[in-house]
Amino acid sequence: MLTKVLIANRGEIAVRVIRTCRELGIATVAVYSELDRDALHVRLADEAFALGGQTAAESYLNTEAILDAIRRSGADGVHPGYGFFSENTDFARAITAEGVAFIGPPPEAIEVMGDKISSRIAADKAGVSGVPGDNTVLSDPKQVIAFGEKHGWPVAIKAAYGGGGRGMRVVNSADEAAAALESAQSEALKGFGRSECYVERYLTWPRHVEMQIIGDTFGNCVWVGERDCSAQRRHQKLVEESPAPAFPDDVRQAMGEAAVKVAQACGYYNAGTVEFLFQDGEFFFLEMNTRLQVEHPVTEFVTGIDLVAEQIRVASGEKLSFTQDDIERRGHAIEVRVNAEDPAGGKFLPSPGPINRLSIPQGPFVRWDGGYEAGDAVSQYYDNLVGKLIVWGRDREEARKRMLRALDEFVIDGVTTTIPAHKAILGHPDFAAAVHSTKWVEERLDLSGVSAAPMAPSAVDGEPAKVRRDVDVEVNGKRFSVAMWVPETAPVVAVAGGAGGAVRARPKPAAASGAAAGGNGAVAVPMQGTIVKVLVAVGDAVEAGQAVCILEAMKMENQINADTSGEVKEVKVEAGQAVGAGDVVVVIG
Protein backbone atom coordinates (compact mmCIF):
# COMPACT_ATOMS: atom_id res chain seq x y z
CA MET A 1 0.00 0.00 0.00
CA LEU A 2 0.97 3.62 -0.46
CA THR A 3 2.47 5.03 2.74
CA LYS A 4 2.17 8.79 2.31
CA VAL A 5 -0.38 10.60 0.19
CA LEU A 6 -0.21 14.24 -0.82
CA ILE A 7 -3.62 15.78 -1.48
CA ALA A 8 -3.31 18.29 -4.33
CA ASN A 9 -6.53 20.05 -3.42
CA ARG A 10 -8.28 22.07 -0.72
CA GLY A 11 -11.63 22.38 1.02
CA GLU A 12 -14.03 19.56 1.70
CA ILE A 13 -12.56 17.05 -0.74
CA ALA A 14 -9.06 17.41 0.73
CA VAL A 15 -10.55 16.86 4.18
CA ARG A 16 -12.53 13.86 2.87
CA VAL A 17 -9.40 12.20 1.47
CA ILE A 18 -7.35 12.89 4.61
CA ARG A 19 -9.96 11.13 6.73
CA THR A 20 -9.82 7.90 4.73
CA CYS A 21 -6.02 7.98 4.63
CA ARG A 22 -5.99 8.20 8.41
CA GLU A 23 -8.31 5.21 8.68
CA LEU A 24 -5.98 3.26 6.39
CA GLY A 25 -2.88 4.27 8.38
CA ILE A 26 -1.51 6.34 5.50
CA ALA A 27 0.36 9.58 6.31
CA THR A 28 -1.12 12.74 4.77
CA VAL A 29 0.44 15.82 3.24
CA ALA A 30 -1.57 18.98 2.62
CA VAL A 31 -0.57 21.83 0.32
CA TYR A 32 -1.88 25.34 0.74
CA SER A 33 -2.06 28.78 -0.80
CA GLU A 34 -1.35 31.90 1.24
CA LEU A 35 -5.07 32.32 1.91
CA ASP A 36 -5.36 28.72 3.15
CA ARG A 37 -2.49 28.82 5.63
CA ASP A 38 -4.87 28.00 8.49
CA ALA A 39 -7.48 26.09 6.50
CA LEU A 40 -9.14 22.95 7.87
CA HIS A 41 -7.38 20.61 5.42
CA VAL A 42 -4.05 22.03 6.60
CA ARG A 43 -4.99 21.64 10.25
CA LEU A 44 -6.01 18.02 9.74
CA ALA A 45 -3.06 16.77 7.66
CA ASP A 46 0.06 15.29 9.22
CA GLU A 47 2.28 17.68 7.26
CA ALA A 48 1.64 20.73 5.12
CA PHE A 49 3.64 22.59 2.50
CA ALA A 50 3.12 26.16 1.34
CA LEU A 51 2.60 26.68 -2.37
CA GLY A 52 2.58 30.48 -2.19
CA GLY A 53 0.13 32.59 -4.14
CA GLN A 54 -3.51 33.41 -3.68
CA THR A 55 -5.37 32.53 -6.84
CA ALA A 56 -5.82 28.94 -7.98
CA ALA A 57 -3.37 29.53 -10.84
CA GLU A 58 -0.69 30.68 -8.43
CA SER A 59 -1.20 27.87 -5.94
CA TYR A 60 -3.23 24.69 -6.52
CA LEU A 61 -2.50 24.82 -10.26
CA ASN A 62 1.20 25.63 -9.86
CA THR A 63 2.79 22.41 -11.12
CA GLU A 64 6.33 23.27 -10.04
CA ALA A 65 5.29 24.21 -6.51
CA ILE A 66 3.28 21.00 -6.11
CA LEU A 67 6.05 18.83 -7.58
CA ASP A 68 8.42 20.48 -5.12
CA ALA A 69 6.08 19.66 -2.19
CA ILE A 70 5.85 16.05 -3.41
CA ARG A 71 9.63 15.72 -3.50
CA ARG A 72 10.19 17.42 -0.15
CA SER A 73 7.48 15.40 1.61
CA GLY A 74 8.51 12.06 0.16
CA ALA A 75 4.88 11.27 -0.70
CA ASP A 76 4.48 8.11 -2.78
CA GLY A 77 0.99 8.94 -4.03
CA VAL A 78 -1.03 12.03 -4.97
CA HIS A 79 -4.80 12.33 -4.70
CA PRO A 80 -5.98 15.16 -6.96
CA GLY A 81 -9.56 15.38 -5.64
CA TYR A 82 -11.85 16.96 -8.25
CA GLY A 83 -11.17 20.10 -10.30
CA PHE A 84 -7.61 21.48 -10.29
CA PHE A 85 -5.24 18.72 -11.55
CA SER A 86 -7.71 15.84 -11.42
CA GLU A 87 -8.06 15.57 -15.21
CA ASN A 88 -4.70 17.08 -16.17
CA THR A 89 -2.68 14.46 -18.03
CA ASP A 90 0.54 16.54 -18.02
CA PHE A 91 0.43 16.56 -14.23
CA ALA A 92 -0.42 12.85 -14.00
CA ARG A 93 2.46 12.00 -16.34
CA ALA A 94 4.89 14.32 -14.56
CA ILE A 95 4.38 12.69 -11.17
CA THR A 96 4.27 9.17 -12.58
CA ALA A 97 7.64 9.87 -14.23
CA GLU A 98 9.03 10.52 -10.76
CA GLY A 99 7.72 7.23 -9.45
CA VAL A 100 4.78 8.76 -7.57
CA ALA A 101 1.35 7.18 -8.03
CA PHE A 102 -1.44 9.34 -9.47
CA ILE A 103 -4.59 8.24 -7.61
CA GLY A 104 -6.80 8.31 -10.66
CA PRO A 105 -7.26 6.85 -14.13
CA PRO A 106 -4.59 6.38 -16.82
CA PRO A 107 -3.87 9.58 -18.79
CA GLU A 108 -4.83 7.91 -22.08
CA ALA A 109 -8.37 7.35 -20.77
CA ILE A 110 -8.59 10.95 -19.58
CA GLU A 111 -7.62 12.05 -23.08
CA VAL A 112 -10.16 9.86 -24.90
CA MET A 113 -12.94 11.08 -22.60
CA GLY A 114 -11.83 14.72 -22.60
CA ASP A 115 -12.85 15.09 -26.23
CA LYS A 116 -16.60 14.59 -26.56
CA ILE A 117 -16.51 13.36 -30.15
CA SER A 118 -13.82 10.78 -29.38
CA SER A 119 -15.70 9.68 -26.26
CA ARG A 120 -18.89 9.22 -28.32
CA ILE A 121 -16.91 7.14 -30.80
CA ALA A 122 -15.37 5.09 -27.95
CA ALA A 123 -18.84 4.45 -26.46
CA ASP A 124 -20.20 3.52 -29.90
CA LYS A 125 -17.39 1.02 -30.38
CA ALA A 126 -18.25 -0.49 -27.00
CA GLY A 127 -21.83 -0.91 -28.22
CA VAL A 128 -23.23 1.90 -26.06
CA SER A 129 -25.37 4.48 -27.84
CA GLY A 130 -25.08 8.17 -27.26
CA VAL A 131 -27.89 10.58 -28.02
CA PRO A 132 -28.48 10.14 -31.78
CA GLY A 133 -25.99 12.50 -33.37
CA ASP A 134 -23.32 13.04 -35.94
CA ASN A 135 -19.70 12.46 -34.92
CA THR A 136 -18.24 14.82 -37.51
CA VAL A 137 -16.92 18.29 -36.79
CA LEU A 138 -19.38 20.87 -38.13
CA SER A 139 -18.10 23.28 -40.75
CA ASP A 140 -21.36 24.51 -42.28
CA PRO A 141 -24.86 25.24 -40.89
CA LYS A 142 -26.24 23.10 -43.76
CA GLN A 143 -24.98 20.04 -41.85
CA VAL A 144 -27.07 21.11 -38.84
CA ILE A 145 -30.14 21.64 -41.04
CA ALA A 146 -29.69 18.29 -42.77
CA PHE A 147 -29.42 16.57 -39.38
CA GLY A 148 -32.50 18.37 -38.02
CA GLU A 149 -34.56 17.49 -41.08
CA LYS A 150 -33.55 13.86 -40.86
CA HIS A 151 -33.86 13.31 -37.08
CA GLY A 152 -36.34 16.05 -36.16
CA TRP A 153 -36.02 19.35 -34.28
CA PRO A 154 -34.81 20.54 -31.82
CA VAL A 155 -31.14 19.64 -32.11
CA ALA A 156 -28.18 20.53 -29.85
CA ILE A 157 -24.85 21.91 -31.04
CA LYS A 158 -22.11 21.02 -28.57
CA ALA A 159 -18.42 21.83 -28.18
CA ALA A 160 -16.19 18.81 -28.84
CA TYR A 161 -13.71 19.94 -26.19
CA GLY A 162 -16.36 21.31 -23.87
CA GLY A 163 -18.29 19.52 -21.23
CA GLY A 164 -20.62 20.30 -18.40
CA GLY A 165 -23.01 21.90 -20.85
CA ARG A 166 -21.12 25.11 -21.49
CA GLY A 167 -21.26 26.25 -25.08
CA MET A 168 -24.27 24.08 -25.89
CA ARG A 169 -26.83 25.68 -28.25
CA VAL A 170 -30.34 24.39 -28.82
CA VAL A 171 -31.60 24.87 -32.37
CA ASN A 172 -35.36 24.71 -32.89
CA SER A 173 -35.56 25.17 -36.65
CA ALA A 174 -33.49 25.51 -39.81
CA ASP A 175 -33.44 29.31 -39.75
CA GLU A 176 -31.72 29.33 -36.33
CA ALA A 177 -28.90 27.01 -37.44
CA ALA A 178 -26.37 29.48 -38.80
CA ALA A 179 -26.41 31.88 -35.86
CA ALA A 180 -26.39 29.02 -33.34
CA LEU A 181 -23.41 27.32 -34.97
CA GLU A 182 -21.45 30.54 -35.08
CA SER A 183 -22.12 31.41 -31.45
CA ALA A 184 -21.43 27.83 -30.27
CA GLN A 185 -18.09 27.83 -32.10
CA SER A 186 -17.05 31.21 -30.80
CA GLU A 187 -18.00 30.34 -27.20
CA ALA A 188 -16.13 27.03 -27.51
CA LEU A 189 -13.03 28.83 -28.76
CA LYS A 190 -13.20 31.35 -25.93
CA GLY A 191 -13.99 28.83 -23.21
CA PHE A 192 -11.92 25.82 -24.24
CA GLY A 193 -9.43 27.13 -26.79
CA ARG A 194 -10.89 24.87 -29.52
CA SER A 195 -13.85 25.75 -31.70
CA GLU A 196 -14.86 22.25 -32.93
CA CYS A 197 -18.56 21.49 -32.54
CA TYR A 198 -20.88 18.59 -33.39
CA VAL A 199 -24.63 18.04 -33.49
CA GLU A 200 -27.04 15.75 -31.57
CA ARG A 201 -30.78 15.37 -31.20
CA TYR A 202 -31.90 17.52 -28.29
CA LEU A 203 -33.90 15.74 -25.59
CA THR A 204 -36.43 18.13 -24.08
CA TRP A 205 -37.20 16.72 -20.60
CA PRO A 206 -34.43 14.30 -19.69
CA ARG A 207 -33.12 13.25 -16.32
CA HIS A 208 -29.42 13.23 -15.61
CA VAL A 209 -28.50 9.78 -14.36
CA GLU A 210 -24.85 8.87 -13.94
CA MET A 211 -23.23 5.54 -13.12
CA GLN A 212 -20.30 5.15 -10.73
CA ILE A 213 -17.72 2.62 -11.86
CA ILE A 214 -14.40 1.53 -10.43
CA GLY A 215 -11.73 -0.70 -11.89
CA ASP A 216 -8.34 -2.04 -10.89
CA THR A 217 -5.16 -2.61 -12.89
CA PHE A 218 -5.91 -6.35 -13.16
CA GLY A 219 -8.78 -5.79 -15.57
CA ASN A 220 -11.56 -5.96 -12.98
CA CYS A 221 -14.16 -3.25 -13.47
CA VAL A 222 -17.52 -3.02 -11.68
CA TRP A 223 -20.49 -0.66 -11.63
CA VAL A 224 -21.36 0.50 -8.15
CA GLY A 225 -24.68 2.29 -8.61
CA GLU A 226 -26.34 5.27 -10.24
CA ARG A 227 -26.98 8.80 -9.05
CA ASP A 228 -29.75 11.09 -10.21
CA CYS A 229 -28.46 14.66 -10.46
CA SER A 230 -31.41 16.24 -12.22
CA ALA A 231 -31.90 19.01 -9.67
CA GLN A 232 -29.37 21.49 -10.96
CA ARG A 233 -29.13 25.06 -12.08
CA ARG A 234 -26.96 26.31 -14.91
CA HIS A 235 -25.11 22.99 -14.95
CA GLN A 236 -24.29 23.30 -11.25
CA LYS A 237 -25.75 20.36 -9.39
CA LEU A 238 -27.73 21.24 -6.29
CA VAL A 239 -29.15 17.91 -5.08
CA GLU A 240 -28.03 14.37 -5.90
CA GLU A 241 -29.56 11.08 -4.90
CA SER A 242 -29.19 7.35 -5.21
CA PRO A 243 -30.96 5.29 -6.36
CA ALA A 244 -32.51 7.32 -9.17
CA PRO A 245 -36.23 7.53 -8.39
CA ALA A 246 -38.62 5.46 -10.49
CA PHE A 247 -35.70 3.71 -12.15
CA PRO A 248 -36.43 0.07 -12.96
CA ASP A 249 -33.93 -2.63 -11.93
CA ASP A 250 -33.46 -3.86 -15.49
CA VAL A 251 -32.58 -0.34 -16.68
CA ARG A 252 -30.11 -0.01 -13.79
CA GLN A 253 -28.50 -3.32 -14.69
CA ALA A 254 -28.28 -2.35 -18.37
CA MET A 255 -26.88 1.10 -17.57
CA GLY A 256 -24.33 -0.42 -15.19
CA GLU A 257 -23.18 -2.90 -17.81
CA ALA A 258 -23.03 -0.13 -20.43
CA ALA A 259 -20.90 2.02 -18.12
CA VAL A 260 -18.45 -0.83 -17.54
CA LYS A 261 -18.21 -1.42 -21.31
CA VAL A 262 -17.42 2.26 -21.92
CA ALA A 263 -14.77 2.19 -19.18
CA GLN A 264 -13.17 -0.98 -20.50
CA ALA A 265 -13.17 0.38 -24.06
CA CYS A 266 -10.72 3.10 -22.99
CA GLY A 267 -8.55 0.95 -20.70
CA TYR A 268 -9.97 2.63 -17.62
CA TYR A 269 -9.01 1.92 -14.04
CA ASN A 270 -9.67 3.72 -10.71
CA ALA A 271 -12.97 5.54 -10.01
CA GLY A 272 -14.98 7.16 -12.79
CA THR A 273 -18.50 8.17 -13.67
CA VAL A 274 -20.36 7.60 -16.90
CA GLU A 275 -23.09 10.20 -17.48
CA PHE A 276 -26.32 9.39 -19.27
CA LEU A 277 -29.45 11.23 -20.23
CA PHE A 278 -32.53 9.20 -19.30
CA GLN A 279 -35.85 9.91 -21.00
CA ASP A 280 -38.92 7.77 -21.66
CA GLY A 281 -37.27 4.64 -20.26
CA GLU A 282 -34.24 4.92 -22.54
CA PHE A 283 -30.72 6.05 -21.64
CA PHE A 284 -28.06 7.62 -23.83
CA PHE A 285 -24.33 8.04 -23.19
CA LEU A 286 -23.42 11.69 -22.61
CA GLU A 287 -19.85 11.88 -21.33
CA MET A 288 -17.48 10.27 -18.85
CA ASN A 289 -16.02 12.09 -15.86
CA THR A 290 -12.55 10.73 -15.20
CA ARG A 291 -12.31 11.69 -11.54
CA LEU A 292 -13.91 11.21 -8.15
CA GLN A 293 -17.02 13.38 -8.14
CA VAL A 294 -18.45 15.78 -5.59
CA GLU A 295 -21.55 13.61 -5.20
CA HIS A 296 -19.74 10.30 -4.56
CA PRO A 297 -20.97 10.09 -0.91
CA VAL A 298 -24.53 9.13 -1.91
CA THR A 299 -23.11 6.02 -3.55
CA GLU A 300 -21.00 5.33 -0.45
CA PHE A 301 -24.09 5.62 1.75
CA VAL A 302 -26.18 3.10 -0.19
CA THR A 303 -23.36 0.59 -0.78
CA GLY A 304 -21.19 0.94 2.33
CA ILE A 305 -18.14 1.18 0.06
CA ASP A 306 -15.49 3.83 0.80
CA LEU A 307 -14.68 4.91 -2.76
CA VAL A 308 -11.57 6.85 -1.72
CA ALA A 309 -10.16 3.80 0.10
CA GLU A 310 -10.79 1.75 -3.01
CA GLN A 311 -9.11 4.39 -5.21
CA ILE A 312 -6.02 4.22 -2.99
CA ARG A 313 -5.99 0.40 -3.11
CA VAL A 314 -6.14 0.45 -6.89
CA ALA A 315 -3.38 3.09 -7.13
CA SER A 316 -1.27 0.94 -4.77
CA GLY A 317 -1.46 -1.86 -7.32
CA GLU A 318 -3.92 -3.95 -5.33
CA LYS A 319 -7.07 -5.65 -6.55
CA LEU A 320 -10.51 -4.21 -5.85
CA SER A 321 -11.65 -5.46 -2.44
CA PHE A 322 -15.00 -6.69 -3.86
CA THR A 323 -16.53 -8.14 -6.99
CA GLN A 324 -19.66 -7.10 -8.86
CA ASP A 325 -21.68 -9.73 -7.01
CA ASP A 326 -20.52 -8.46 -3.61
CA ILE A 327 -22.08 -5.03 -4.13
CA GLU A 328 -25.40 -4.54 -2.39
CA ARG A 329 -27.40 -1.35 -2.53
CA ARG A 330 -29.67 -0.58 0.37
CA GLY A 331 -32.07 2.28 1.06
CA HIS A 332 -31.82 5.77 -0.35
CA ALA A 333 -29.28 8.59 0.04
CA ILE A 334 -29.65 12.28 -0.78
CA GLU A 335 -26.93 14.94 -0.87
CA VAL A 336 -27.25 18.72 -0.98
CA ARG A 337 -24.37 21.04 -1.78
CA VAL A 338 -24.10 23.85 0.72
CA ASN A 339 -22.47 26.67 -1.21
CA ALA A 340 -21.71 30.19 -0.01
CA GLU A 341 -24.13 31.63 -2.55
CA ASP A 342 -27.24 33.70 -2.07
CA PRO A 343 -30.13 31.89 -3.77
CA ALA A 344 -32.47 34.89 -3.37
CA GLY A 345 -34.57 35.35 -6.48
CA GLY A 346 -32.88 32.32 -8.05
CA LYS A 347 -29.70 34.33 -8.65
CA PHE A 348 -27.21 32.30 -6.59
CA LEU A 349 -24.72 35.16 -6.25
CA PRO A 350 -21.44 34.24 -4.55
CA SER A 351 -21.41 35.21 -0.89
CA PRO A 352 -17.87 34.66 0.37
CA GLY A 353 -16.82 35.80 3.82
CA PRO A 354 -16.03 34.65 7.34
CA ILE A 355 -18.07 31.88 8.93
CA ASN A 356 -18.92 33.28 12.33
CA ARG A 357 -21.01 30.40 13.54
CA LEU A 358 -21.46 26.89 12.20
CA SER A 359 -23.68 24.33 13.80
CA ILE A 360 -23.90 21.13 11.79
CA PRO A 361 -26.95 18.90 11.96
CA GLN A 362 -26.40 15.62 13.70
CA GLY A 363 -28.50 12.60 14.54
CA PRO A 364 -29.20 9.31 12.83
CA PHE A 365 -27.95 8.69 9.29
CA VAL A 366 -26.61 12.19 8.69
CA ARG A 367 -23.15 12.84 7.21
CA TRP A 368 -21.41 16.18 6.76
CA ASP A 369 -18.39 16.47 4.47
CA GLY A 370 -17.20 19.99 5.17
CA GLY A 371 -14.16 22.06 4.35
CA TYR A 372 -14.58 24.71 7.02
CA GLU A 373 -15.23 25.25 10.71
CA ALA A 374 -16.52 28.32 12.53
CA GLY A 375 -13.80 30.97 12.42
CA ASP A 376 -12.71 30.01 8.90
CA ALA A 377 -13.46 32.17 5.89
CA VAL A 378 -14.80 31.22 2.47
CA SER A 379 -12.60 33.03 -0.04
CA GLN A 380 -13.87 34.54 -3.26
CA TYR A 381 -10.83 33.06 -4.99
CA TYR A 382 -11.94 29.42 -4.89
CA ASP A 383 -15.00 27.27 -5.33
CA ASN A 384 -17.44 28.36 -2.63
CA LEU A 385 -18.65 24.89 -1.63
CA VAL A 386 -18.78 25.00 2.18
CA GLY A 387 -19.60 21.32 2.44
CA LYS A 388 -22.06 18.60 1.56
CA LEU A 389 -24.87 17.31 3.71
CA ILE A 390 -25.79 13.70 3.02
CA VAL A 391 -28.54 11.65 4.62
CA TRP A 392 -29.63 8.04 4.35
CA GLY A 393 -33.13 6.59 4.76
CA ARG A 394 -34.69 3.19 4.18
CA ASP A 395 -36.59 4.69 1.29
CA ARG A 396 -36.67 7.98 -0.62
CA GLU A 397 -39.42 9.52 1.46
CA GLU A 398 -37.64 8.77 4.73
CA ALA A 399 -34.43 10.25 3.34
CA ARG A 400 -36.25 13.33 2.01
CA LYS A 401 -37.89 14.04 5.38
CA ARG A 402 -34.61 13.42 7.18
CA MET A 403 -32.88 15.93 4.91
CA LEU A 404 -35.56 18.53 5.61
CA ARG A 405 -35.12 17.88 9.34
CA ALA A 406 -31.33 18.20 9.05
CA LEU A 407 -31.57 21.40 6.99
CA ASP A 408 -33.81 22.89 9.67
CA GLU A 409 -31.10 22.20 12.26
CA PHE A 410 -28.34 23.75 10.15
CA VAL A 411 -27.06 27.08 11.50
CA ILE A 412 -24.45 29.08 9.62
CA ASP A 413 -23.75 32.77 10.18
CA GLY A 414 -21.52 35.10 8.21
CA VAL A 415 -22.07 33.71 4.74
CA THR A 416 -25.36 33.29 2.94
CA THR A 417 -25.82 29.74 1.68
CA THR A 418 -27.90 27.67 -0.69
CA ILE A 419 -29.74 26.03 2.25
CA PRO A 420 -33.01 27.98 1.69
CA ALA A 421 -33.02 26.78 -1.94
CA HIS A 422 -32.51 23.19 -0.77
CA LYS A 423 -35.45 23.51 1.61
CA ALA A 424 -37.56 24.79 -1.30
CA ILE A 425 -36.46 21.92 -3.55
CA LEU A 426 -36.75 19.08 -1.03
CA GLY A 427 -40.08 20.42 0.21
CA HIS A 428 -41.61 20.84 -3.24
CA PRO A 429 -44.33 18.37 -4.29
CA ASP A 430 -42.64 17.91 -7.71
CA PHE A 431 -39.42 16.79 -6.03
CA ALA A 432 -41.32 14.61 -3.58
CA ALA A 433 -43.08 12.97 -6.52
CA ALA A 434 -39.78 12.85 -8.48
CA VAL A 435 -41.31 14.39 -11.58
CA HIS A 436 -38.48 16.94 -11.87
CA SER A 437 -36.01 16.93 -14.77
CA THR A 438 -32.81 18.82 -15.57
CA LYS A 439 -34.76 21.98 -16.42
CA TRP A 440 -37.05 21.93 -13.42
CA VAL A 441 -35.09 24.24 -11.08
CA GLU A 442 -34.72 26.91 -13.74
CA GLU A 443 -38.16 26.63 -15.33
CA ARG A 444 -40.56 25.47 -12.64
CA LEU A 445 -39.12 26.12 -9.20
CA ASP A 446 -40.05 29.53 -7.83
CA LEU A 447 -37.18 30.92 -5.75
CA SER A 448 -38.50 34.49 -5.77
CA GLY A 449 -39.51 34.23 -2.13
CA VAL A 450 -36.34 32.48 -1.06
CA SER A 451 -33.95 34.52 0.98
CA ALA A 452 -31.63 33.95 3.89
CA ALA A 453 -32.42 37.47 5.08
CA PRO A 454 -35.78 38.24 3.47
CA MET A 455 -36.84 41.81 2.76
CA ALA A 456 -39.51 43.16 5.08
CA PRO A 457 -42.87 42.62 3.42
CA SER A 458 -43.98 46.10 4.50
CA ALA A 459 -40.90 47.94 3.21
CA VAL A 460 -41.97 51.39 2.08
CA ASP A 461 -40.40 53.16 -0.88
CA GLY A 462 -37.77 55.62 0.17
CA GLU A 463 -37.12 53.97 3.51
CA PRO A 464 -33.93 51.99 3.99
CA ALA A 465 -34.33 48.30 3.09
CA LYS A 466 -35.04 46.14 6.09
CA VAL A 467 -33.89 42.63 6.77
CA ARG A 468 -35.21 40.00 9.11
CA ARG A 469 -33.23 38.98 12.18
CA ASP A 470 -34.46 36.22 14.45
CA VAL A 471 -33.82 36.74 18.14
CA ASP A 472 -34.65 34.44 21.02
CA VAL A 473 -36.35 36.05 24.01
CA GLU A 474 -37.77 34.76 27.26
CA VAL A 475 -41.13 36.06 28.44
CA ASN A 476 -42.22 34.91 31.90
CA GLY A 477 -39.92 31.94 31.62
CA LYS A 478 -41.23 30.86 28.23
CA ARG A 479 -38.94 30.96 25.25
CA PHE A 480 -40.03 32.68 22.05
CA SER A 481 -38.26 33.26 18.78
CA VAL A 482 -38.95 36.82 17.67
CA ALA A 483 -38.47 38.06 14.12
CA MET A 484 -37.25 41.64 14.01
CA TRP A 485 -37.18 43.78 10.89
CA VAL A 486 -34.19 46.08 11.13
CA PRO A 487 -32.42 48.35 8.65
CA GLU A 488 -29.99 46.35 6.54
CA THR A 489 -27.18 48.73 7.49
CA ALA A 490 -27.48 48.00 11.20
CA PRO A 491 -27.76 44.28 11.68
CA VAL A 492 -28.67 43.05 15.11
CA VAL A 493 -27.75 39.59 16.28
CA ALA A 494 -28.44 37.60 19.38
CA VAL A 495 -25.30 36.87 21.33
CA ALA A 496 -25.06 33.20 22.20
CA GLY A 497 -24.04 32.57 25.76
CA GLY A 498 -24.67 36.13 26.86
CA ALA A 499 -27.32 37.28 29.31
CA GLY A 500 -30.64 35.77 28.25
CA GLY A 501 -32.15 37.76 25.46
CA ALA A 502 -29.17 40.11 25.10
CA VAL A 503 -29.17 41.82 21.76
CA ARG A 504 -26.13 43.51 20.33
CA ALA A 505 -25.61 45.48 17.19
CA ARG A 506 -22.66 44.25 15.24
CA PRO A 507 -21.10 45.68 12.11
CA LYS A 508 -21.74 43.69 8.97
CA PRO A 509 -18.86 41.27 8.43
CA ALA A 510 -16.46 42.43 5.75
CA ALA A 511 -17.70 41.13 2.42
CA ALA A 512 -15.43 39.25 0.04
CA SER A 513 -11.83 39.29 1.13
CA GLY A 514 -10.07 42.00 -0.80
CA ALA A 515 -13.26 44.00 -1.22
CA ALA A 516 -12.23 46.55 1.39
CA ALA A 517 -12.01 50.23 0.57
CA GLY A 518 -8.59 51.69 -0.04
CA GLY A 519 -7.79 50.12 -3.38
CA ASN A 520 -6.32 52.19 -6.18
CA GLY A 521 -9.47 52.06 -8.29
CA ALA A 522 -8.08 49.68 -10.90
CA VAL A 523 -10.43 46.75 -10.34
CA ALA A 524 -8.81 43.53 -11.52
CA VAL A 525 -10.19 40.00 -11.77
CA PRO A 526 -8.51 37.42 -9.52
CA MET A 527 -8.61 34.60 -12.03
CA GLN A 528 -9.10 33.66 -15.64
CA GLY A 529 -12.67 33.45 -16.86
CA THR A 530 -15.44 35.04 -18.86
CA ILE A 531 -17.27 38.26 -18.03
CA VAL A 532 -20.94 37.35 -18.05
CA LYS A 533 -22.33 40.71 -17.03
CA VAL A 534 -21.10 44.28 -16.60
CA LEU A 535 -23.03 46.04 -13.85
CA VAL A 536 -21.71 49.62 -14.12
CA ALA A 537 -21.19 52.22 -16.83
CA VAL A 538 -18.79 55.13 -17.22
CA GLY A 539 -19.99 58.00 -15.06
CA ASP A 540 -21.72 55.81 -12.43
CA ALA A 541 -20.96 56.54 -8.80
CA VAL A 542 -19.92 53.36 -7.00
CA GLU A 543 -19.21 52.46 -3.41
CA ALA A 544 -16.31 50.32 -2.26
CA GLY A 545 -17.50 46.73 -2.18
CA GLN A 546 -20.21 47.28 -4.79
CA ALA A 547 -20.32 44.69 -7.57
CA VAL A 548 -19.03 46.02 -10.91
CA CYS A 549 -19.22 42.86 -12.98
CA ILE A 550 -19.84 39.12 -12.82
CA LEU A 551 -17.01 36.80 -13.80
CA GLU A 552 -17.65 33.19 -14.63
CA ALA A 553 -14.63 31.11 -13.68
CA MET A 554 -14.22 27.49 -12.61
CA LYS A 555 -17.94 26.95 -13.38
CA MET A 556 -18.97 29.60 -10.86
CA GLU A 557 -20.21 33.12 -11.11
CA ASN A 558 -18.04 35.46 -9.08
CA GLN A 559 -18.94 38.98 -8.15
CA ILE A 560 -16.09 41.41 -8.84
CA ASN A 561 -16.32 44.32 -6.43
CA ALA A 562 -15.16 47.93 -6.51
CA ASP A 563 -12.01 48.30 -4.41
CA THR A 564 -12.71 51.95 -3.65
CA SER A 565 -15.56 54.47 -3.83
CA GLY A 566 -15.72 56.97 -6.65
CA GLU A 567 -16.85 57.48 -10.21
CA VAL A 568 -16.43 54.87 -12.92
CA LYS A 569 -13.90 56.36 -15.35
CA GLU A 570 -13.44 53.42 -17.64
CA VAL A 571 -15.09 50.06 -18.36
CA LYS A 572 -12.59 47.86 -20.14
CA VAL A 573 -14.68 44.74 -20.74
CA GLU A 574 -18.03 43.67 -22.12
CA ALA A 575 -20.24 40.66 -21.49
CA GLY A 576 -18.89 37.55 -23.18
CA GLN A 577 -15.28 38.70 -23.07
CA ALA A 578 -12.57 36.33 -21.84
CA VAL A 579 -10.20 37.77 -19.23
CA GLY A 580 -7.02 36.60 -17.55
CA ALA A 581 -5.98 36.75 -13.89
CA GLY A 582 -5.00 40.31 -13.00
CA ASP A 583 -6.74 41.96 -15.96
CA VAL A 584 -8.20 45.33 -15.04
CA VAL A 585 -11.92 45.42 -15.85
CA VAL A 586 -13.07 48.74 -14.43
CA VAL A 587 -11.21 51.90 -13.44
CA ILE A 588 -12.66 54.04 -10.64
CA GLY A 589 -11.39 57.58 -10.13
Residues that bind ligand MV4 in the complex, under the rule CB under 6 A: 131, 156, 164-165, 168, 200-203, 206, 208, 232, 235, 277, 286-287, 438
Shorter beta-carbon distance to ligand MV4: residue 79 or 208? 208
User: Minimum Å distance from CB 157 to ligand MV4?
Assistant: 10
Shorter beta-carbon distance to ligand MV4: residue 16 or 233? 233
Find residue 579's DSSP bridge partners: 529
* Angular region, 444: left φ>0, alpha ψ -120 to 50, beta rest: alpha
User: Minimum Å distance from CB 120 to ligand MV4?
Assistant: 11
* Angular region, 267: left φ>0, alpha ψ -120 to 50, beta rest: left
| Strands 155-159 and 101-102, sheet pairing | unpaired
User: Minimum Å distance from CB 96 to ligand MV4?
Assistant: 29
User: Minimum Å distance from CB 287 to ligand MV4?
Assistant: 6
| CA 439, 440, 443, 448 torsion-angle sign | negative
User: Minimum Å distance from CB 165 to ligand MV4?
Assistant: 3
- CB closest to ligand MV4, residue no: 165
Largest CA distance in the chain: 78
Dist CA 240 CA 208 (whole Å): 10
Shorter beta-carbon distance to ligand MV4: residue 22 or 194? 194
Dist CA 526 CA 492 (whole Å): 32
User: Minimum Å distance from CB 552 to ligand MV4?
Assistant: 15
User: Minimum Å distance from CB 153 to ligand MV4?
Assistant: 12
How many other CB atoms are there within 10 angstroms of residue 410's CB atom? 18
How many other CB atoms are there within 10 angstroms of residue 554's CB atom? 16
Dist CA 5 CA 78 (whole Å): 5
Shorter beta-carbon distance to ligand MV4: residue 201 or 337? 201
138: which residues sit within 8 A by CB, 6+ positions away? Answer: 144, 157, 181, 185, 196, 197, 198, 199
Shorter beta-carbon distance to ligand MV4: residue 155 or 560? 155
Burial 266-303 (b: 16+ CB within 10 A, else e): bebbbbbbbbbbbbeeebbbbbbbbbbbbbbbbbbbbb
Shorter beta-carbon distance to ligand MV4: residue 167 or 353? 167
| Helix intervals (H) in 347-506 | 396-409, 419-426, 429-432, 440-443
Shorter beta-carbon distance to ligand MV4: residue 152 or 164? 164
Q: Which of 323, 347, 354, 351 is nearest to 339 (CA)?
A: 351
Shorter beta-carbon distance to ligand MV4: residue 21 or 131? 131
User: Minimum Å distance from CB 415 to ligand MV4?
Assistant: 26
